Amino acid sequence: MRDELIKRGISREEEYELLEAWKRQTEEKALLEQQYRASESFGISKLVWMGIRWPLTLLSNWSLRREGFIRKHKERLYAIGLGILLWVFMFITIAIELEDYERERQNFIERQDIYEWEINQYSPEEIAESRRKSIEKVIATVQANQTSGISTYVILEKDTLPNSEVTRLRELNMNNIRDVVFQKLTEPQPYDRIEIVLVNSRDKDY
């Protein structure tokens, strides 16, 4: 190679300068490549997908840090962490929904059984008087909770009745009330969820 350079009239000093320039150029390219890799990102859409399918993400891309993809390495860890949290949240939400559904189903069955027993044991007047007392208890509970600054959820056939309109429950046909259920959303709070179930849902348009 040196003979070729001599033929071209390139001295050792020029050869050294050319080699140094080539080394600097190579080092600059390597530095730019390193900086590019360190700052390269997966992008939002891919990160979301990585988070959703975090078990598969966990099994891949283990060499990102070693290959210089610093930002991608961190984003991968964040995606896995957020994906795990998302899955946990989803499982907890589903479990709560299933528990609520099962509780509502059991309550419905119990209400059906109790109501059928009541109409066989008591007269319509006695049932109406019992429901009237329950409605008065609802009104008294809501008013007492308002005084204490506690919100009360009054559910009439799956519709939430504003606390300010609770006295209108007196206008209901008492014999059309299947059941009045008092519940506590948090212990040891007073009753803060009251469900009124009608025999005929059209009666709620009082």
* pTM recorded for the entire structure: 0.47
Report cis status (omega within 30 of 0) of the bond before 124. Answer: no
The encoded tokens of residue 12 equal 């050792």
Q: What is the mean pLDDT of the chain?
A: 82
Strand 153-156: give its sheet, edge to edge.
Answer: 159-161, 153-156, 193-198, 177-183
Local structure of 29: helix, strand or coil:
helix
Q: Give the model confidence (pLDDT) of 42-73 as tens digits.
A: 888 899 999 999 888 888 878 888 888 888 88
Note the maximum CA span of the chain.
124
Res 126: pLDDT: 92
Residue, of 123 and 116, whose pLDDT is higher:
123
Q: Which two tokens stand for residue 66?
A: 């070693």
Position with higher pLDDT, 166 vs 101: 166
Name residue 158's amino acid. Answer: K
Q: Residue 7: is its pLDDT beyond 70?
A: no
Q: Looking at residues 145-152, what average pLDDT do you find?
A: 87
Tell me how far the alpha carbon of residue 90 is from its chain's centroid. 6
pLDDT of residue 170: 93
Band (pLDDT 50/70/90 cuts) for residue 187 is low
pLDDT tier at 36, thresholds 50, 70, 90: confident
- Which CA distances in Å does 132 have to 18, 136, 174? 102, 6, 6
State the pLDDT at residue 108: 63
pLDDT the model gives residue 102: 81
- Residue written as token pair 């209901």: 172
Specify the pLDDT at position 201. Answer: 57
Residue with tokens 């490549």, as numbered in its chain: 33
- Gap between the Cα atoms of 34 and 38, Å rounded: 6
Structure tokens that stand for 18 in this block:
């050319």
